[in-house]
């Protein structure tokens, strides 16, 4: 069945232009044509008073986390089935906020794979999913369990590796179980007790084993990395994207420029932790580490912008008080860090589609692409906060949300 969307303003992410008075013809799950005139005899959807754009892409979420102050209690009390239902609920909240594609950067028990497959089958409305299953970490590293030694659990987000051979085996294991890309932890993290955010936790040889094996299978890699040494070795190893990247120096940025590495800054994650603080149940050591990484982050992002580093949009949704469906606040933060509104929207569309190697399907409104289209009342070029109020969502040709 065909529909035609009458667009008052249309964001052309390919050239970072705003087009006016365009008609987008959709047939089934695909965009058929984009033109100046609406064909007759087709159902019309009036978006003439809206800012229309490609469906948003969030390149860093955790659908099994829901913004709680601490995820430890859930890991003790919930089952894999509980996490699967939670993952669906969170992904649908993201979809309603205009995020029609998600890259899940760490789940539990491969429930992200189950969610991806269920959405593809049409069992549920949901965003396109790119998933990694488990992240790869070292013994005692970020995403390893930090419970007492006598407590055994299988709901952690990390697959522990020590040495290049174990790294290769772990890559093959997650790919065997349905992962689309590989996530690894190059350094410590804000949310992992007993780790220092700046400390490198995987060797260069281990990271090379990960990236080389991933590329052999044709998938990209992402690394959780805060500290400078870990970032440098991850880039030297050939990682596709640095996630967070909050303690950069000039050598890091030079290496990223030379290798074409993406940066996913996830500014909202430490901001929400600091805003809510100990008074809302967040551990004091988490707040302290969030302050540490945020202190230098703006300077690092601005240097990356000046050097032409490709900036991706990622929210780390699911971390404390960083709720699914509310992550569009990241656009405002990105602009506060020096991106223009056009650059921020490009990060969440064209750039992310290139990062995820999905440019043939998503990231722009053009013939042949999936009919993933969203719209906002008003003009985000004049007020970027409007990105937090999505009024229209079309996912694979189906209208999921329409607020007149």
The CATH number of residue 24's host domain is 2.30.40.10
Report the pLDDT value the prediction gives residue 259, as an integer from 0 to 100.
97
Euclidean distance between CA atoms 24 and 35, whole angstroms: 7
Q: What is the DSSP letter of 63?
A: T
| C-alpha 180, offset from chain centre | 14
- Which of 22-26, 35-39, 379-383 shows the lowest per-residue confidence on average (mean pLDDT)? 35-39
Its pTM stands at 0.95
- How many domains are contained in the chain? 2
Euclidean distance between CA atoms 77 and 7, whole angstroms: 48
Q: Are residues 181 and 285 in the same domain?
A: yes
Residue after which a domain boundary falls, among 270, 299, 327 = 327
Domain assignment of residue 334, yes or no: no
Tell me the pLDDT of the chain averaged across its residues. 94
Which residues constitute the domain of residue 207? 56-327
Question: Which of these, 101, 26, 28, 99, lies nearest to 358 by C-alpha position?
Answer: 101
Q: Are residues 177 and 28 in the same domain?
A: no
Q: Are residues 159 and 40 in the same domain?
A: no
- Which of 150-154, 180-184, 255-259, 361-365 shows the lowest per-residue confidence on average (mean pLDDT)? 150-154
> Mind listing the pLDDT tens digit for each residue in 112-151?
999 999 999 999 999 999 999 989 998 877 766 666 555 5
pLDDT at 153 over 90: no
Domain assignment of residue 337, yes or no: no
pLDDT at 278 over 60: yes
Taking residues 278-304, report their average pLDDT.
95
Euclidean distance between CA atoms 262 and 304, whole angstroms: 10
Interior angle at CA 400, CA 67 and CA 63, nearest 5: 25
Domain assignment of residue 357, yes or no: no
> Mind listing the pLDDT tens digit for each residue in 190-227?
988 777 888 999 999 999 999 999 999 999 999 999 99
Domain assignment of residue 216, yes or no: yes
CB 199 within 8 A of CB 227: yes
Report the pLDDT value the prediction gives residue 194, as an integer from 0 to 100.
76
Q: Are residues 84 and 141 in the same domain?
A: yes
């Amino acid at each position: 069945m065909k529909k035609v969307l009458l667009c008052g303003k249309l964001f052309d992410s390919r050239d970072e232009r705003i087009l006016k008075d365009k008609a987008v013809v959709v047939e089934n799950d695909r965009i058929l044509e984009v033109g100046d005139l609406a064909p007759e005899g087709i159902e019309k959807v009036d978006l003439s008073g809206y800012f229309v754009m490609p469906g948003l892409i969030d390149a860093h979420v955790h659908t099994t986390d829901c913004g709680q102050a601490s995820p430890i209690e859930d890991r003790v009390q919930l089952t894999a089935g509980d996490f699967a239902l939670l993952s669906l609920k969170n992904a649908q909240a993201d979809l309603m906020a205009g995020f029609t594609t998600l890259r899940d950067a760490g789940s539990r028990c491969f429930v992200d794979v189950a969610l991806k497959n269920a959405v593809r089958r049409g069992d549920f409305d949901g965003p396109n999913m790119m998933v990694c299953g488990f992240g790869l970490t070292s013994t005692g590293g970020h995403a390893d369990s930090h419970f007492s030694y006598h407590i055994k659990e299988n709901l952690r987000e990390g697959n522990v590796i020590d040495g290049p051979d174990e790294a290769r085996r772990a890559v093959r294991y997650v790919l065997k179980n349905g992962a689309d890309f590989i996530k690894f932890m190059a350094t410590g993290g804000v949310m992992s007790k007993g780790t220092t955010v700046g400390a490198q936790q995987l060797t260069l040889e281990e990271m090379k084993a990960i990236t080389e094996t991933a590329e052999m299978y044709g998938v990209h890699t992402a690394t959780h990395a805060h500290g400078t040494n870990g970032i440098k070795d991850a880039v030297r190893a050939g990682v596709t994207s640095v996630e967070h990247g909050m303690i950069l120096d000039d050598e890091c940025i030079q290496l990223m420029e030379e290798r074409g590495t993406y940066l996913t800054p996830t500014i909202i994650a430490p901001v929400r932790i600091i805003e809510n603080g100990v008074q809302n149940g967040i551990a004091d050591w988490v707040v302290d580490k969030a302050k540490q990484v945020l202190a230098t982050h703006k300077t690092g992002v601005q240097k990356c912008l000046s050097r032409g580093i490709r900036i991706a949009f990622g929210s780390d949704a699911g971390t404390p008080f960083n709720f699914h469906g509310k992550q569009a606040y990241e656009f405002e933060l990105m602009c506060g860090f020096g991106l223009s509104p056009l650059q921020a929207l490009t990060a969440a569309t064209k750039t992310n589609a290139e990062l995820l190697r999905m440019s043939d399907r998503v990231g722009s409104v053009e013939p042949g692409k999936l009919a993933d289209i969203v719209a906002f009342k008003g003009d985000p070029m004049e007020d970027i906060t409007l990105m937090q109020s999505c009024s229209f969502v079309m996912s694979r040709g189906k209208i999921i949300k329409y607020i007149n």
